[in-house]
């Protein structure tokens, strides 16, 4: 009985890493769909979010069942409670990638991204991909040094987010209100995606060290 139980605890990690793979792929394809107005790619991101949701719902059920039947304590309890939080953040990251794909679909056959913002969105997509890759490694390896790197990448994302607004509000903006709305929302989705990645990494730090370094402060 205890063996099956420990197998189950280990499988939580595998399933979380699997979620990071899916939400990385979703964000990568979502960004390409947005930049290239690729409807088929956008549709694939939108339909495949169901797979992220399915893993999330299964993981959540396993965790509640495990808590009820096995009554984990000490480090095991910390592991399952933290897995629940991480799964919730990863599920949300899947939604955000899907939201980006929906902007691409809504504007197809046009691109929602004007030429002068293309590089910024490319960079935001690259940072998002980098963040979730590190998050996955961080969950798998429990390397807490990676968690620090994630916070720096998140700062880079915030700088790009502010750059978007500077372009939207410059006198040279010639693409009107609809494009500005799309870019405002897309920028928000990338920024939130990065925030959730950082939260997951902070949860790994908590799991390893047993202390929280991520007190919530005004953001």
Among 61, 141, 209, 213, binds a copy of itself (CB under 8 A): 61
Among 1, 4, 74, 115, binds a copy of itself (CB under 8 A): 74
Which of 91/130 has CB closer to a copy of itself?
91
CB 200 within 8 A of CB 89: yes
How far is residue 136's CA from residue 15's CA, in Å, rounded to a whole number? 11
Which of 16/130 has CB closer to a copy of itself?
16
49 touches a copy of itself by CB under 8 A: yes
- Which residues inside 152-211 make contact with a copy of itself, applying CB under 8 A? 165, 168-169, 173, 176-178, 180-181, 184-185, 188
How far is residue 214's CA from residue 165's CA, in Å, rounded to a whole number? 28
- The residue range among 79-87, 123-131, 138-146, 151-159 that interacts with a copy of itself, by the rule CB under 8 A, is 79-87
Which of 3/215 has CB closer to a copy of itself?
215
78 touches a copy of itself by CB under 8 A: yes
Which of 130/182 has CB closer to a copy of itself?
182
Chain residues that interact with a copy of itself, rule: CB under 8 A: 46, 49-50, 53, 56-57, 60-61, 64, 67-68, 71, 73-74, 77-78, 81, 84-85, 88, 91, 95, 98, 165, 168-169, 173, 176-178, 180-181, 184-185, 188, 212, 215-219
């Amino acid at each position: 009985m205890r063996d099956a139980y420990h197998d189950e605890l280990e499988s939580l990690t595998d399933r979380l890493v699997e979620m990071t793979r899916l939400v990385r792929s979703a964000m990568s394809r979502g960004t390409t769909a947005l930049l290239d107005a690729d409807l088929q790619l956008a549709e694939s991101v939108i339909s495949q979010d169901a797979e992220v949701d399915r893993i999330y719902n299964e993981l959540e059920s396993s965790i509640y069942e495990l808590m009820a039947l096995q009554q984990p304590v000490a480090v095991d309890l910390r592991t399952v409670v933290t897995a629940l939080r991480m799964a919730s953040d990863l599920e949300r990251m899947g939604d955000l990638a899907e939201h980006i794909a929906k902007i691409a679909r809504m504007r197809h056959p046009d691109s929602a991204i004007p030429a002068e913002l293309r590089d910024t969105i490319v960079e935001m997509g690259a940072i998002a991909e980098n963040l979730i890759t590190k998050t996955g490694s961080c969950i798998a390896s429990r390397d807490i040094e990676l968690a620090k790197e994630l916070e720096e990448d998140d700062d880079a994302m915030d700088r790009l987010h502010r750059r978007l607004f500077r372009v939207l509000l410059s006198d040279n903006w010639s693409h009107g209100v609809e494009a500005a709305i799309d870019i405002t929302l897309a920028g928000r989705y990338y920024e939130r995606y990065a925030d959730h990645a950082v939260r997951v990494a902070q949860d790994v730090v908590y799991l390893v060290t047993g202390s929280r370094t991520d007190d919530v402060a005004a953001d």
